[in-house]
Amino acid sequence: MAVIRDVMPAFELFQPNSIADALKLLQQHGEDAWVMAGGLDSFDWLKDRIKKPKVVVDLSGIEELKGVRTTSDGIEIGAMTTLTEVVKHPVIREKYSLLADGAELAASPQIRNQGTIGGNVSQDARCWYYRAGWPCYRAGGNICYADTPTGRNREHAILHAERCVAVNPSDSAPALIALDAKFVLRTPKGEQIVDAEDYFVGPDIDITRLHILKPGDLLTAIRIPSTWAGAQFYFEKIRDRNVWDFPLLNVASAMRVSGGTIESIRIAVNAAAARPLRLKAVEDAVRGKAATAATGEMAGKLAVEGAVPLQFNAYKIPLMRNLVKRAIGGVEEAKWAS
C-alpha cells in the first residue's frame, strides 16, 4: 500500500504580531520551534512529514518585518517583504535592479506573491535524497547518497563539496552578495549585522544547515547600501523550465566602469556549491582591465578553477564559465548599445 504523505503532523501554532513576541517564543521553545515566513519551504517539509516540529511560529502577522524603507545610505527591506513587492518597488527597480532581476526569476508569479525575501535566502537544500527523508549527512546520517556510483546528482555541487554535495537554491542571494547587502539578525544576545556572504555556511562549517541562524535567532531585515546604486548590473539564471524551477546555476554582478575600464566589481554565483559564492579571485583579476569579452573569457576560466564534477553534472563547469564571461562581456554590450 502506498504511503500517503500529505497530512501534516500536529504542532502548536503561534502567530505573534511583534518581533519581540516572536523572539520570546523562539527562545522559549528553542530547537522545538520552526520559523515560518511565506510558508512555501515550510509546507513542503510539513506535508511530507519529514520535519515534525512541536511548535510553528508564523511571522506573517508582524507588520514591522514587511516593506521597503529608504535610509540615509540606501534601503532596508523587511525580511517578510514578498518577492513580488521587491520586484515591483520603484526604488529597487531604479537603483538596485540587480535584486529585482534575481527576485523576478524566482519560481512563478503565484509563489512570488507569497514567498518572502527572508524565506528565499533562508530556504533549505533541495536535494531529493535529503527532502525525501533519506538518512544522509545533512540529515544526521553518515553517507551522501547523491555522491555515490548510482547517485543522481545532475543539480548538485561542483565546488566546495565537503561530504554533502547539495547546493543553495536561492536566486536573490547572489544578487544581495553582489550589492554588498547586510543582513540584520536578532539573537538572544541582541542585534547582529553580518555581510550577506557571511550569512551562508557550507558543510565544512555546519553540514546540517545553509545559514548561520541558530534556534532562537531571527532574520529581521536586509540592508542594501548606496555603494552600488545605479551600477551596471547583470543577472542570469539557467534552469530547466522558464517558470518555477530552481537554478541549475545563476550569476549576479555589479560593476563600475569608466572609459571602458572596470574600476570596481562584485560578482557571485549560486547553485555551484552549498553556499552562494562570491568570486573574489575573479574580482581581483578583472579590476583595472577592459570590460570586454576577452576579459570575461579570462574571468570565466578563473572562476571554475578547482571545480570537480560529479557523474551527471560536468555540464556545470562550462555553464559557470560562460555565465561569468557574460556577466562581464554582457554588461559591456548593454552599455555601448545604450
* Same structural domain, 311 and 173: yes
The predicted-structure confidence for 174-189, as pLDDT tens digits, reads as follows: 999 999 999 999 999 9
Asked, for residue 146, whether it belongs to a domain, the answer is no
287: domain CATH number is 3.30.465.10
Report pLDDT for 200: 98
Average pLDDT, rounded, for the chain: 94
Average of per-residue pLDDT across 206-212:
96
Residue 308: CB atoms within 10 Å: 12
Average of per-residue pLDDT across 246-252:
98
Q: What is the domain range of residue 45?
A: 1-59
The predicted-structure confidence for 4-34, as pLDDT tens digits, reads as follows: 556 788 999 999 999 999 999 999 999 999 9
Q: How far apart are CA 7 and CA 48, in angstroms?
A: 8
Measured in degrees and rounded to the nearest 5, phi and psi for residue 284 equal -65, -35
Measured in degrees and rounded to the nearest 5, phi and psi for residue 91 equal -70, -40
The CA R_g of the chain, rounded to the nearest whole Å, is 20
| pLDDT class of 334 with cuts at 50, 70, 90 | very low
The predicted-structure confidence for 66-118, as pLDDT tens digits, reads as follows: 999 999 999 999 999 999 999 999 999 999 999 999 999 999 999 999 999 99
Residues β-bridged to residue 278: 268
Report pLDDT for 7: 77
Asked, for residue 68, whether it belongs to a domain, the answer is no
Asked, for residue 33, whether it belongs to a domain, the answer is yes
Distances (CA, A) of 209 to 122, 259, 265: 9, 44, 29
Name the DSSP class of 39.
S
Report pLDDT for 333: 43
Alpha-carbon torsion angle 243, 123, 20, 216, nearest 10: 170
Residues β-bridged to residue 45: none
* Same structural domain, 29 and 173: no
Asked, for residue 137, whether it belongs to a domain, the answer is no
